[in-house]
Amino acid sequence: MYITGIGRTKFGVFDTSLPELIYEAMYKALNDSPIGITDVDAVIFANFLAGPNQGQLHLNSLIASLLPRTNLPIIRVEAACASGGIAVNQAFSMPKKFENILIVGAEKLNDHTTKTIARNLAMAGDALRDQKEGLIFPAQYAILADQYLRKYDASHDDLMLVSLKNHRNATLNPLAHFYHKDVDLEAINSSPMVCSPLNLFDCCPISDGAAAIVVSMIKKGDRDVKIIGSTVKTDAISLSQRTDLTTFKAAILAAKDAYKTANVGPKDIDIAEVHDCFTIAEIIAMEDLGFCNKGEGVKLIRDDETSLSGRLPINTDGGLIGDGHPVGASGIAQICEIVEQLRGGAGQRQVPDAKIGLAHNIGGAGGTAVVHILEGSK
Amino acid sequence: MYITGIGRTKFGVFDTSLPELIYEAMYKALNDSPIGITDVDAVIFANFLAGPNQGQLHLNSLIASLLPRTNLPIIRVEAACASGGIAVNQAFSMPKKFENILIVGAEKLNDHTTKTIARNLAMAGDALRDQKEGLIFPAQYAILADQYLRKYDASHDDLMLVSLKNHRNATLNPLAHFYHKDVDLEAINSSPMVCSPLNLFDCCPISDGAAAIVVSMIKKGDRDVKIIGSTVKTDAISLSQRTDLTTFKAAILAAKDAYKTANVGPKDIDIAEVHDCFTIAEIIAMEDLGFCNKGEGVKLIRDDETSLSGRLPINTDGGLIGDGHPVGASGIAQICEIVEQLRGGAGQRQVPDAKIGLAHNIGGAGGTAVVHILEGSK
C-alpha cells in the first residue's frame, strides 16, 4: 500500500469547528495526491472525543456531509490517542477492492475548560477503577516516570532533554503548536509541577487539528511512500492489571510483528516518530521499539543520538510535545512527517538520506499500540 | 467468511455494567463456536455512547482487560445505530491473516434520565444544525413518517400493523426486551403520542445489552453460516441535505452492492432483519431493499406477507421494536437471529426452510446503511 498524498492543518488552539478542520486536511491531502475525490473508494476517520466534547457522534455520516453525493463507505474508529494509527492500520487491512482510501483524523479539544478537557481525556483510562482513583493522564504517566527513575540510572534531567529536543524541532515546523516558542533548559526546569516528577514541559499541549493521507494499492508516482509494516496490539486498560510499569507490552509486540512483516529490524530505521505524550513516554518508546536495551533510552538522549543531526532522529516534527496532540489526528500526523522526510520535503528539519521510517502511536497508558514502518521510493 | 458461533445477552433495562454485558456475549459466542479464545486473531467492537454515558472510551483496551494476556489487535468502530453492522463489515474486510475474528457490540443506555439519554442519542444527528433545531430521533423519524403518509396511499393504521407484528414476534423470543409484553391494536392505538404521527408503540425501547459472533475464514462445521455479501454506504448526516425524505439512498446503494457481491436478488431472500427503530423505518426498509416497489411497503404489511407465516418473514426476533435496541449490539443481534433461523434453531419462531437471510442496519436517520446477506449450510 502506497501513500500518495498527505495534508494537515496547523495544530494549536483555534476557533475553527471540527468539520472545518476535517475538511481542510482532506482537501490538502487530496490536493497533494494524483487521486481525486471521485477516485476515492472508502474513507477511514479517526477521532476520540467528539461525542463528549462536541455532542457529535455518527462521524462517518458527518464526513459524508462534507463529500456530497459520494455515498462512500466511511468507517470511524476510536482507540483514544491511538485512533489515528488504528485508522491507518484499518486501511492497510481493507480488501483490495478499495483501490484508493482517504484516511483522516481530527480532534477539537479547546471548546471547554481545562477541567472538562482533563475529565474527558481521562475516558481513555479505566472508568470503574483508575478514573475513580483520580488517575487522569498526567498522574498515570507520573507513576510510570516515577517507577522508571527509581529502577534505572536516570533522572528528571534526562526527561528535560527530551522536551528540549522536541521543542527545538517544533521551531522548524511551521504547522507545529509551538512553532513560535523558544525554549531552553532553564525554562523547562523552572516550569510548574504538574504531577511529580512531571512538570509542565514534560507534557504535550492540548491541541486542535486534523491530518489526512491518501493511500493507494498501486504506486502512482516516484515520490510515493510504501507502508511495509502495520500492526496493532492491545493491553489491559487499567494500570492495576499490568505487571511492569516501565514498559508497554503492547508496543513491544506490535513492533516485533511490524518488523517481521516489513522484513527489517530496529537498526534499519533511519527516522522515527514516537508517541511522546509525556517525556517519559519517548524514553519507554525507544526501548520498546528495540532502538536500545531496556533502561538505556536515556543514554540515547544524553548522547544526542536522536536529535536532527544524530544517528536516529526522533520526532523531527516536534512530536506530541512540540507539534501538539490533537488526539485523533496525531497518529496520522506522525505518518505525514515520515512521508515528508522520506520524500525529502521536510525543509529546515530534513534528515539527509532517510529511507525507512517508523511511526509509533499509543492509546492511553499503553492500552493500545500501533506501529507502522514506511519505505521511501528513493 | 463463516459465522461459527453466536451469543447474546437478554435485552432490557439492567443494572449490569457495560464490561459485564460485553463479557457475557463474548463468552456465549465462543462457547457456541468450535473456536476458543486462544484461536481468536482479532476482535472488532461496536459501541455508540459509552463516552457520553459511562465516561469510558478506549474501548478496545477495555476489552483487552477482559481477555487477559492475549494482547490481540482490537478495533472499536462507531457509526451510531449502525455500529454493529459496521463491525461485521470490518471483519469481512480484514485480511486473510486473521483466521478467526470475534465481533462484539454492546450498549448500556439506562444509566441516566430519559432526557439525558435522548440528548446523547441525538449525537447521531448533526450537532451544528439538526440538534439545535430540536430534531431528536423521534422528531426526525416523525418528519419521515409525515412525508411518507402524505405522499403514498398509507395511514398510521399501517404503521400500527408493523408494531403489532414485531411485538408478537418478541413474545416468542425469550431474550427480547418485550418477551413478556402482550400487545394488541387497541393498546397500540391508545398509546401516548411521542411526535405526531408517531406514538409510543411506533418507537423502539431504550435497551441495555450485548451481542457477539465468531467468524472464521474457513468453514468449521455443518451449521456454519456464510456471509456472502456485506456493504456499507453513507449519506449526509443532516436531513436538510437530503432530497427525498421517504427513502434512504445509502440503504438502496448498500443493498444493490450486497446483492451483487452475493449474486442474489431481493426475490432470493427468505428472511430479513430490518432496522425498525420506528415503524416507518421498516416500511422504508422493505422498499429500499427491493422487496416491493416504492410506496408499496404498506401492502406487504396489510397482506401479512412479512409475518412469521408469510412469504418473507421480517424481524422474526421482534426487531428493534420488540427485541429492543441496545445500539452498538443491534446490528450484531440481527445477524445472530438470521444465523439461528438458517441453522433451524429459532424454536417457536422458526421459519421453515429459510436458506438465505438479509440484515439491514441503519445509523441515524439513514446517514449510514449496512447490508449483510447470509447463506445457511443446509
Helix or strand (DSSP H, E) at B226: strand B225-234
**Eight-class DSSP state of B329:** H
pLDDT grade for B128, boundaries at 50, 70 and 90: confident
Q: How far apart are CA A154 and CA A194, in angstroms?
A: 20
Query: What separation, in Å, do the N-terminal and C-terminal C-alpha atoms of chain A show?
Result: 16
| Check: complex ipTM more than 0.90 | yes
Q: How far apart are CA A331 and CA A363, in angstroms?
A: 10
Q: How far apart are CA B250 and CA A74, in angstroms?
A: 11
Of B87, B332, B107, nearest in space to B232 by CA: B87
Q: Which candidate from A51, A95, A237 shows the least CB-CB separation from B62?
A: A237
Best of B1, B21, B43, B61 to disrupt the A interface (most A CBs within 10 Å) is B61
Are B4 and B222 in contact by the 8 Å Cβ rule? The answer is no
Q: What is the pLDDT of residues A1-37, one digit of tens each?
A: 999 999 999 999 999 999 999 999 999 999 999 999 9
pLDDT for B225 equals: 98
**Between A and B, how many CB-CB pairs are < 8 A?**
195
By C-alpha distance, the chain A residue nearest B55 is A123
Query: In this predicted model, which residue has the larger pLDDT, A93 or B91?
Result: B91
The nearest CA of chain A is from the CA of B89 a distance in Å of 10
pLDDT for B129 equals: 87
- To the query of whether residue B81 is one of the catalytic residues in this protein, the response is yes
Residue B200: how many other CB atoms lie within 10 Å: 15
Q: In which residue are the cell numbers 491507518 written?
A: A88
Q: And the C-alpha cell for B351?
A: 421459519
- Which one is catalytic: A167, A177, A275, A325? A325
In angstroms, the Cα distances linking A122 to A6, A7, A129 are 30, 29, 12
CB contact under 8 A, A253 and B71: yes
Are B363 and B82 in contact by the 8 Å Cβ rule? The answer is yes
The nearest CA of chain A is from the CA of B176 a distance in Å of 26
Q: How far apart are CA B162 and CA B167, in angstroms?
A: 9
Q: What is the pLDDT of residues A98-138, one digit of tens each?
A: 899 999 999 999 989 989 999 999 999 999 889 988 899 99
Q: And the C-alpha cell for A196?
A: 511529580
CB contact under 8 A, A367 and B58: yes
Q: What is the pLDDT of residues B45-70, one digit of tens each?
A: 999 999 999 999 999 999 999 999 89
Buried b / exposed e over B95-116, threshold 16 CB at 10 Å, is eeebebbbbbbbbbbbebeeee
Chain B residues touching residue A51 (CB < 8 angstroms):
49, 51-52, 120, 123
- Which one is catalytic: B167, B177, B275, B325? B325
CB contact under 8 A, A61 and B122: no
Mean pLDDT of chain A: 96
By C-alpha distance, the chain B residue nearest A239 is B65
pLDDT for B95 equals: 67
**Residue A95: is its pLDDT beyond 90?**
no
CB contact under 8 A, A79 and B75: yes
pLDDT for B356 equals: 98
Is the C-alpha dihedral spanning B25, B29, B30, B35 positive or negative? Answer: negative
Q: Is A241 on the interface with B (CB under 8 A)?
A: yes
Are B12 and B32 in contact by the 8 Å Cβ rule? The answer is no
Strand partners, A77: A46, B77
Q: Is A125 on the interface with B (CB under 8 A)?
A: yes
pLDDT grade for A71, boundaries at 50, 70 and 90: very high
Q: Is A77 on the interface with B (CB under 8 A)?
A: yes
Phi, psi of B371 (to 5 degrees): -125, 130
Tell me the DSSP string of B248-265. Answer: -HHHHHHHHHHHHHHT--
Are A284 and A297 in contact by the 8 Å Cβ rule? The answer is yes
3-state secondary structure of A12: strand
pLDDT for B365 equals: 96
- To the query of whether residue B275 is one of the catalytic residues in this protein, the response is no
3-state secondary structure of B64: helix
pLDDT for A129 equals: 87
- Which one is catalytic: B81, B195, B204, B277? B81
Q: Which candidate from A61, A68, A75 shows the least CB-CB separation from B364?
A: A61
Q: Is B368 on the interface with A (CB under 8 A)?
A: yes
CB contact under 8 A, A79 and B60: yes
pLDDT for A93 equals: 77
pLDDT grade for B92, boundaries at 50, 70 and 90: confident
